[in-house]
Amino acid sequence: MKKGFSIYISIALVSLVLGIMLSTQFKIVKKGGVVTAQRAEELATQLKQLQSEKEALLKQISELEAKINAYEDSASKNSVITQTLKSEVEKYKELAGLTDLQGPGVIVTVNDSKQPVPPGQDPNLFLVHDEDLLRIVNELRAAGAEAISLNDQRLIATSEIRCVGPTVVVNSVRFAAPYVIKAIGDPDTLEAALKLKGGVVDSLATWGIEVNIKKSDKIVIKKYDGVLKFRYAKPLVEGEKK
């Protein structure tokens, strides 16, 4: 009898421990710690839906822009004043990066290093970072590039180039390597500026980061397709008291 009793105690103890473990695990899972396949699928469909929505909205934007253009065209036919105003607007749009541009220039392709990382070396050094891209863009600007795009995102006054995890964000759009920088300007000057001894390409080559420069007579750079609107900045009128 005594032996039977101790058996029951041990079974009860074991079941108790098992129950505590089960409920603890259940609590962890319920907290959403573990991402289940179902949840991931749900999120994926959500993402897909939002992406198609975004596509539709982008299409709408381009349609509306075409409409505006048509209005401007018809208005400019009416009088000389509106015609000059329109040409003025076109000029500022070009400068602001709101029109597609074409011209001679260079296409710079930057890719992560394919060299094996030697043991003890920081593998980060062999990847393309925002700083590298910024240096290249900066060098292109210094060499007189008139329009620059990164992976078809036009770089305008408010564009950012920033590392987010393993990707780079430009105009709030994420990109992974390889990065294609297009610049319109004098192709020879642009290439020479990048290939300066001790310059950008030279220093990146130390880590095996591939920088491929291709000169071209005709490069098309897309316009900036985001929304340009100042929420805080207001123009300062000359002579106005603060």
Partner 1 sequence: MAYIIALSLLLGLIIGFVLPINIPFSYAPYLSVAILAALDSVFGGIRASFEEKFDNLIFITGFFGNIILAGGLAYIGDVLGVPIYLAAVFVFGSRLFSNFAYIRRYLIDRMRRR
- How far is it, in rounded angstroms, from Cα 224 to Cα 171? 9
Q: How far is the CB of 208 from partner 1 (least distance, A)?
A: 26
Task: Work out how close the CB of 28 gets to partner 1 at its nearest, in angstroms, rounded to a whole number.
Answer: 5
Question: Among residues 123 and 144, whose Cβ is nearest to partner 1?
Answer: 123
Of 19 and 123, which CB lies nearer to partner 1 in the complex structure?
Answer: 19
Binding stretches for partner 1 (CB under 8 A): 3, 6-8, 10-29, 33-34
The backbone torsions φ and ψ at residue 166, rounded to the nearest 5 degrees and listed phi first, read -85, 5
- To partner 1, the closest distance from the beta carbon of 2 in angstroms equals 11
Q: Which is nearer to partner 1, 31 or 218 (CB)?
A: 31
Nearer to partner 1 (CB atom), residue 2 or residue 218: 2
CA 208 to chain centre: 23
The CB-of-22 to partner 1 minimum distance in angstroms stands at: 6
The answer for 161, left when phi > 0, alpha when psi is -120 to 50, beta otherwise, is beta
Burial grade of 221 (CB within 10 A; 0-12, 13-18, 19 or more): buried
- Give Cα separations from 192 to 3, 95, 184, 214 (angstroms): 92, 25, 14, 12
